[in-house]
Structure 1
Amino acid sequence: MSLDKILSISGKPGLYQIVAQTRTGAIVESLIDKKRITVGAHSNISILSEIAIYTLAEEIPLKNVLNTIKTKANGQPTEISHKASKDDLEEFFFDVLPDYDEDRVYPSDIKKVIQWYNILQKNDLLSVLDTDEDDDTSEEE
């Protein structure tokens, strides 16, 4: 599995993995409770491999940010919860990505990154960060 198969769906908590594609969307399984749902093509879906974090110089792929968190946490859950205070979240993220753009990366974004990392860690999916599957296959949404 790669980050190409892991999704965030707007309005739905947590992360999902693609189980199957249909003509009108996809069948996905929650990484939190393992329930399967059908999402249509009209849903606002973000594929984790396509997400990047703004820094002052460039955009850093989410995979690299998650890898940095994995290194700092030694592959364990983060010491900070995604429900921590704004100041604690920003302090943690400065440690992970010192030059992130504070004007374009909001505390809600930091919460998502921390929550996503911990979901991947809990589901033993941190290994997807080690794979270098950078193939440019187009996927239909």
Structure 2
Amino acid sequence: MSLEKILSIGGKPGLYRLLTQTRSGFVAESLLDKKRTTVSAQSNVSVLSEIAIYTLEEEMPLGEVFQKIQVKEKGGKTSVGHKEDKLKLEEYFFEVLPNYDEDRVYASDIKKVIQWYNILQDNGITEFVKDSEDALEEE
């Protein structure tokens, strides 16, 4: 499963899998407890494939950041928990993405990236970036 069906819903913890759309919004399933919830179209919802992290040169798609974490951790969960102190989180993120923009990427953002990566790992979602061959086939 790709990041295009994975959502972050404002005010709700964790990540959600998009199940189906309804007239007034959509139905999503929590990746934490598998409970289904209906979400209105007015809710603050972000699709993970649309999120990017600021670097000094450009914005890097979140999937590519997850890919870098996956390489660093050899396919496992992160060696740093999302509840670590600010300095430890920043050191870890600097190892993963040395050119991230420290002025625009906050410790709270790093916490989310680490937490989301681990949630995806727990759910067996490890394909973060579409292969270039797959992208060509869809065009």
TM-score of the aligned structures, taking structure 1 as reference length: 0.92
The CA distance in 2 between the partners of 1:130 and 1:26, in whole Å, is: 25
What's the secondary structure of 1:23's corresponding residue?
coil
Aligned equivalents of 1:51, 1:134: Cα separation in 2 = 18
Is residue 131 of structure 1 aligned with residue 130 of structure 2?
A: yes
Pairing 1:56-95 to 2, within 5 Å after superposition: 56-95=56-95
Structure 1 runs of 4+ aligned residues shifted over 6 Å read none
Q: What is the rounded CA distance, in whole Å, between the counterparts of 2:50 and 2:66 in structure 1?
A: 13
CA deviation map 1:44-66 (0-9, x unaligned): 00000000000111000000000
SS at match of 1:26: strand
Residues of 2 paired with 1:25 and 1:76: CA distance? 34
Alpha-carbon distance, 1:130 to partner: 4.6
Contact 2:66/2:117, CA 8 A, preserved across alignment:
yes
Letter in 1 for 2:19: V
Residues in 2 aligned to 1:2 and 1:74: alpha-carbon distance in whole angstroms: 19
Q: Does 1:26 pair with 2:32?
A: no
Distance 1:85 1:45, change over 3 A: same
Task: State the one-letter code of the partner of 1:131.
Answer: K
What is residue 46 of structure 1 aligned with on the other side? 46
Unmatched 5+ residue regions in structure 1?
Answer: none
Percent identity of paired positions between Structure 1 and Structure 2: 61
Instruction: Compute the TM-score of the two structures, normalised by the length of structure 2.
Output: 0.93
CA RMSD of aligned residues (A): 1.5
Q: Secondary structure at the match of 2:8?
A: strand
Q: Which residue of 1 aligns with 2:120?
A: 120
Q: Deviation at 1:22?
A: 0.4
TM-superposed deviation, 1:131:
3.1
Query: SS where residue 126 of structure 1 aligns?
Result: coil
The structural deviation recorded for 1:2 is 1.3
Partner of 2:98: helix, strand, or coil?
coil
- The amino acid of 2:44's aligned partner reads N
> Distance in 1 between the 2:55 and 2:2 partners?
24
Secondary structure of the structure 1 residue equivalent to 2:87: helix
How far residue 134 of structure 1 moved from its aligned partner, in angstroms, is: 4.8
Amino acid at match of 1:80: V
The corresponding residue for 1:37 is 37
Corresponding residue pairs, total = 135
Unaligned runs of 5+ in 2: none
